[in-house]
Amino acid sequence: MATYLRNLSEYDFSKVPDASNMCFGIVVAEWNPEITGKLLEGCVSTLEKHGTLPENIHVKTVPGSFELIYGAHQMCLNGGYDAVIILGCVIRGDTPHFDYICEGVTYGIARLNAKSEIPVIYGLLTTNDLQQAEDRSGGRLGNKGDECAVVAIKMAKF
């Protein structure tokens, strides 16, 4: 479903399992920090709202979105997490760099999900402009970070 047809922060609270005994790793890209910071805030807030203790939410940063793959892989190998969440934002520019990064991250996270023992949640915004990113990081379309937290909780219980 297209994001513009629903709010990323709206979900049925009663359908989200209790997360009080869960531990989550979050890898956040430093690139576009005005967006990724809001994604992180939404994600952490939603995890805590569903019972995750603050000390069971471990956040690591990586320079850019492509490095999210390595960060998530390291968390899968070393962390003892119930799920790992990646948060990043790539905004289309004038060169094909956007396409390469988005495709690479998508493939890398898909591969981690196929091979890892824990779910890796895809929270990469891939937008045409800054306004679309703002709309999806706490703006008029909600916060993708909220959605990723709910998905992580549900997948950890899968």
Measuring CA to CA, how many Å separate 89 from each of 1, 43, 114, 115?
A: 20, 14, 23, 24
Active site residues: 97
